[in-house]
Every structure is written in structure tokens, then in C-alpha cells.
Amino acid sequence: MKEYLKHHEWEVIEEGLNPHYNMVSESVFSLGNGRMGQRANFEEYYSGETLKGSYVAGIYYPDKTRVGWWKNGYPEYFAKVLNAPSWIGIRIAIGKQMLDLAKCKVEGFRRVLDMKRGLLTRSFTATLADGKTLKVEAKRFCSMAKGEIGAIRYSITAVNFSDKATVTLDIDADVVNKDSNYDEKFWEEVSKEAKEGRAIVIAQTKKTFFHVATGMCYSLSEAGKEVKAERVNVEQREKYAGNVLQLTLNEGKEMVIYKYAAVLSSENHPKDKLLAHCHKVLDEAIATGFDKLLEDHEKVWKHKWEECDITIEGDVAAQQGIRFNIFQLTQTYTGEDERLNIGPKGFTGEKYGGSTYWDTEAYCIPFYLGTAEKKVARNLLVYRYKHLPKAIENAKKLGFTDGAAFYPFVTMNGEECHNEWEITFEEIHRTSAMAYAIRDYIDYTGDDAYLAEYGLEVLIGISRFWAQRATWSTDKNKYVVLGVTGPNEYENNVNNNWYTNYLGAWTLRYTQFAIDHVKKTNSARYSEIVSKTSFDEAKEASKWKDISEKMYYPADERRGVILQQDGFFDKELLRVNDLKPSQRPLNQKWSWDRILRSCFIKQADVLQGLYLFEDDFEIETLRKNFDFYEPMTVHESSLSPCVHAILAARLGYKERAYEFYLRTARLDLDDYNNDTEEGCHITSMAGTWMSVVKGFGGMRVKNGQLHINPFLPDKWKSYSFRLEFRKRVIKIRVTADGVETIRESGDPLEVIVKEKAVKL
């Protein structure tokens, strides 16, 4: 755990240059706008430790799979988030001396991420080897208003000298993924254009043939007046184009470089129009100018914050934590493009590849439901609907037939691209996360027409998967689900993981509900779906009913708890507190087999089920299982603490709920797991939001009604959050005196607050 960042309500602040933490800071201070983004790499040359990373949403590369021993069924490739052409480069040389923070004396270094405005500012004073001192302030943002524009205001003041300076402004597409399996570069040059004042490189990805045009233009001003460079050389080489400017820095006078970038992809423009469009976007950017672009950008952020801000009074660390989570989520995914999804690292790193995990359905959709118009969550559902044919193909590759749909564990385009058999093939609960998300969406929004439009087709596919995946045990006289990995990935290839069995059976029941609903409300569409999917209701639905009624659920009657999976109680039942600190985290200290045969749980599993299906169980069942399983849980997944925070809150374990909250909220800011340098844990950030709103706030939607049942953590004076709920915005503020519930927009509404109906 690192605590080098200053606490502040709206800002993340780093004071002093921390070369050892630079890669962590590069992740934490990342910028994005849903379309593109990049790590907080320095604009100037830096010879110290850095992980350079720029990313363009939806652009990926299918890297050849690397495995030790090939297992039949493994995908041929692993879709990598692509390190994309970089537009941030501003290299400065004074004479022959390069400005390089790793090499010169740096004072007053300060890096600030202004989350309110979506602006990264970095300032410092650097003294070169010959004693010349420069004062630099760099401001950067990726426009939320114009998704294809990025802008930098880079200010240099020669503090104690006047001299010639060489400034290189470039576009660099000669980049490589650190996680490239065979050290291959994934980009090829299509074309480039460089002239005085402008440079554009169009690069294409190998195999996937995405084209990305990245361009830049710039203007200069000295002491507030626009100036020209004394000389400009155009520099070009393979996958690279730029301008080299000769300037004179005059002592005490501020020279400002405005660098404007345009990033356009063939996902949004015809390939043959990319160059022309790129010029147009650059023209627009430079004409609008930095200040106006920033103003428009800030307006969008203002609006976003009005939708989804959470305030916490009396606990700056907690306040900063929740805002950081909301900020990152918002700049990762804006919900405007249904082809996109939420990568586990967003625009902050390349690790884990792929863009889409079940995290989206289990963690992110509730966040977007609560904080954005319903189309955002809907787009995430439609994304999976569009992948249904691929999910059917994935199932087929594994031997399933007749339209069974097996959603991938990791994907870019719907195809599976993960390759550990115990996850890829066996962590099957994820396919039902798609079903659960449909229910979640409909429950929250009331938009049950979604079932007819898209939902039912997906549900039929998934139910077909379960009907083939569950098998009959003559010995148990029940249906069983063998050879799975549950949410707790510290168990592999187990039989009858309770969560998996429960979710499978629930899916079959919910599909029946959806069938009945669509049949009743839209019989024409129902016939259409029957015919499109060759659905044989009489035969298939009765089989589904049989399975859901006769599903086997492992339980331990003596202890009165659910059994995580068959055989779990043969283990030595230890507690996390019995472990020596030197053994933690287990996944770095223990060999895999030892983890597997221990009782220790990576993340909520039985408890994940009790969280998702809370209305199906008595609170005492939850208490018994929480008291039993939580002490064995090491929370080595970023997705674990938030669920526990919500459950602890429900059980009235206030202190525990607060502890779990802090752990999830400041995971990246404090680098709890010592892995933030690889990127931030974007999807688990939605869980942080949930732990406030569903945990402390006790927010639920039951039968279409909003319920609030909050408590105030002891350390806080108050907290508030807003909810988008069925075309209203509701603000909830919780203080020691009670709960304020305000309808900020939309029609009147009855809300259940602490079990009492309140009219808003």
C-alpha cells in the first residue's frame, strides 16, 4: 500500500517527482473520453521507468495465443487492447541538452488530476546540466465534447537564460504492446503526411485492418501573443511524422505550445475518408482554440457530475476515493456507442487484453443504471445481443448444439479469446451474467419491452446452454453441473458450485417468465423469435422446467450453511486471520495447487449468489453464510470487497461495511494490491459506487419501486448521491439527523425510505 498522493475532495495530487511510483501515477492520472485515452505519460522525453500507453476504443489486435500445452478448444488468438499511436509528444532541447526529468534537477514537481474538469496539469522547474532552468506547466485533456480531439497547453519559461530551443511535436505510431506474446509490433503504416504545422499518420492494425488516423497541429504564443517558429523542419520516418521547431526562449517570457490532436478510427469513418476527416478535425480544433475546447469539455463534465456525483462530508479520503472511481468510469465509457464496452483497465493500461468481462454485467451495469439515462445500460445489453451469434459459435466449438449460447469470458468481438481451460471453458456462470443483467435492467428501468426486442433471444440461447450443461445424476436423483469454476477462482474444476447451479436454474426460470411475457405482450414478435431460433417450446421449455425444479444444491445441514461446492467441507477450515501476513497475498506467495486445496476464497462466491438473489433467502441465511465464508475470504479480486460491503451493510455490520468500502474506493489511489502500475481496476470501480448506494444507502428497486434504507458510517458527517430513476433524478442525502430525499427532476414519485412510503 502506497500513500504518496495528497487527499483532496476534487483533485488527485502528486507533489514531488517519484520516479519509483511513476508507472503507478501514469495509471492513476490517466485521461480518457470514452473514444480514446492515454496513460499520464510525460509529453517530453523521459528516460526513466515508464509504461507508454495510448488507446483507441474498439481497436484491438488478435495476438497469437501463447500456451504451454495446447488443449483442444483453446482460441487461436488473444485479443489485445492495442497500444495506439501517441499524439502527446513534445520534446524539448536547449542546445544539445534534452529536457528529461530523469536526468535533470527537478523542483516543485506537481501533478494534479482535476476530476471536476477532467484536466491533467503537471508543473515543475527543471535545471539542466549547464545550469539553465526551465519552468514548465503542461495541461492536457481528451475532449468529452468532441471525442476525436485532444489538446495540450505546454508552457515553458526560461527562468535564468535566453537561448535557442528545439521543440519536436510529433505523431508516433511506431509503438509496441508490452504484453505482445511474441514481441511483434501490431501496427503497419498506411500513409502519412507531414508539412509545416501539421502531421498525420494513418496506421493499420495487422490482421484486423483497423485504420487509425492520428494527426496534430499546433500554435505558439509568447507572452500571450501568437508567434511563429524561426524554422520548421519536417521529420518523417516509418510510422512517424512530426515538425521540428527552432525557437528562441527569452528569459522570463512564457512560451506556450498549443498542440491539438485528432484521433479518428475506421470504426467511425470510411477508410478512404479518414485523411480528409482528420484534416477537418484538426482545422476545427485549432480554430476553436484550447480555451474554448476546454470550456466545452468542462461543461460536459459538469453535467456528468450532476448526474453521478457522490458527496461525503467529514472524510476527505473517502470523498476523493469515490470521486476517483466515478471519474475513471465516466471517462472510460460514455454509453454512446453500443459497439463499445468497459475494459478492465479502461484507457489506463493494456493488461488482461480484451475489452469485455462479466464485470460489465455484474458490476458496471448497475452503476450506469443508477447514474445515466437508461440507453447507456441498454447499449451494454445490446452489445451482448449483437454478440449472440458468436456466443452460439463459441458454444459449438465446445461441443454444444442447437443454438446453445456460451458467452466468452474475455472478448472484443464476441469470440472467446481467453486461454486457461479452467476459466475459458469452465467459468460458465458468466454466460448467465447476461441473463441477470437483462433482469436487472428491466427491474430498474421498467423497460420490459426489451425482452421482446432483444432479451428473449439471448435468454433462449443461454437456457439451451444450461439444458445441455446440466446432467442427470442417477446417484443424486438430481441435475448436477460438473467441472466448473465458480466466481471464486481459487477453486477449479469443481462439481456443483452452488452459485453456478443456482444461477443456471434461475436462468431457466427467468427465461420461462420472459417467454410468457413476450407471448402475452407481443405475440407477433414471439412467433418471429420462435421461428428465428427454431424454438420448440413444448419440448425445450419442459426440459428447462424439469432441470430448474430438480437442480441439486449442495448444503451442509449440520452447519446450516450452503456448501460452496461438493467436497468443500473436506478441507481444513481455516480463517484468513490464521494466516501469517508474510503469506499474503496468497496468489503471490503460494503455489497454485496449495491455493486450490485450501479453503481460502478469492472473492465472493456463495455470497455473490446471496447478493444477487437476496429476495430468495432469509436474512438469517445470509448472516450464517456471511459469518461462515467471509472469514475465509482473502479478497484478492478487486471485485470482492464491494459485494461484501453491501452485504455487511445489510446485516448491520457497519464497521465491516466501512472497511470494505475504503478498500474498494482507494484500491488504486493507495495501490493496495501493488499492481496499479499496470493500470487501474476500472470495472471494480462500479462496485465502489454500489457499496455506497446499495451498501450504505440501502438502495433497491422492488416491484418497480425505489427503496432507500440508509445508514451513516460513524466517521462521516453526511453523504449524498443522485439516482437516475425512470426519467427522474432523485437526490438522497444522509446525515446524522436522517435522510433527505429530493426529486431534482422528472415527475412525482413515491419512494420507500426506511420502509415508509415518501412522496417526492
Chain residues binding a copy of itself by CB under 8 A are 65-69, 71-73, 78, 182, 397-399, 419-422, 425-426, 471-476, 480, 482-483, 492-496, 566-567, 569-573, 587-597
Q: Give the β-pairing of 231-237 and 240-249.
A: antiparallel
SS3 category, 165:
strand
H helices present in 485-618, as ranges: 498-521, 523-533, 537-549, 586-589, 592-597, 606-612
For the CB of residue 400, give the shortest distance to a copy of itself in the complex, in Å.
9
Residues marked as catalytic: 489
Q: Which residues pair with 218 in a beta bridge?
A: 259
- Give the nearer residue to a copy of itself in terms of CB position, either 107 or 184: 184
> Under a CB-based contact definition with an 8 Å cutoff, are residues 28 and 327 in contact?
no
For the CB of residue 207, give the shortest distance to a copy of itself in the complex, in Å.
19
State how far the Cα of 705 lies from the Cα of 699, in Å rounded to an integer. 10
Q: Which residues pair with 126 in a beta bridge?
A: 106, 134
State how far the Cα of 432 lies from the Cα of 49, in Å rounded to an integer. 42
**HSE toward the beta carbon, residue 711, CA cutoff 13 A:** 17
- Give the nearer residue to a copy of itself in terms of CB position, either 232 or 398: 398
Local structure of residue 446 (DSSP, 8 states): -
Q: Which residues pair with 121 in a beta bridge?
A: 112, 139
For the CB of residue 628, give the shortest distance to a copy of itself in the complex, in Å.
14
C-alpha cell at 727: 426519467
State how far the Cα of 146 lies from the Cα of 585, in Å rounded to an integer. 43
State how far the Cα of 753 lies from the Cα of 739, in Å rounded to an integer. 8
Burial category of 702 from C-beta neighbours within 10 Å (exposed 0-12, middle 13-18, buried 19 and up): exposed
For the CB of residue 565, give the shortest distance to a copy of itself in the complex, in Å.
10
For the CB of residue 78, give the shortest distance to a copy of itself in the complex, in Å.
8
- Give the nearer residue to a copy of itself in terms of CB position, either 246 or 471: 471
- Give the nearer residue to a copy of itself in terms of CB position, either 484 or 753: 484
- Give the nearer residue to a copy of itself in terms of CB position, either 135 or 390: 390
- Rounded to the nearest 5°, which phi and psi values hold at 378? -60, -45
For the CB of residue 396, give the shortest distance to a copy of itself in the complex, in Å.
10
**HSE toward the beta carbon, residue 633, CA cutoff 13 A:** 25
- Give the nearer residue to a copy of itself in terms of CB position, either 350 or 457: 350
> Under a CB-based contact definition with an 8 Å cutoff, are residues 427 and 489 in contact?
yes
State how far the Cα of 354 lies from the Cα of 365, in Å rounded to an integer. 18
For the CB of residue 491, give the shortest distance to a copy of itself in the complex, in Å.
8
- Give the nearer residue to a copy of itself in terms of CB position, either 48 or 73: 73
List CB contacts of 150: < 8 A, sequence separation 6 or more.
36, 87, 88, 140, 141, 142, 143, 260, 261, 262, 263
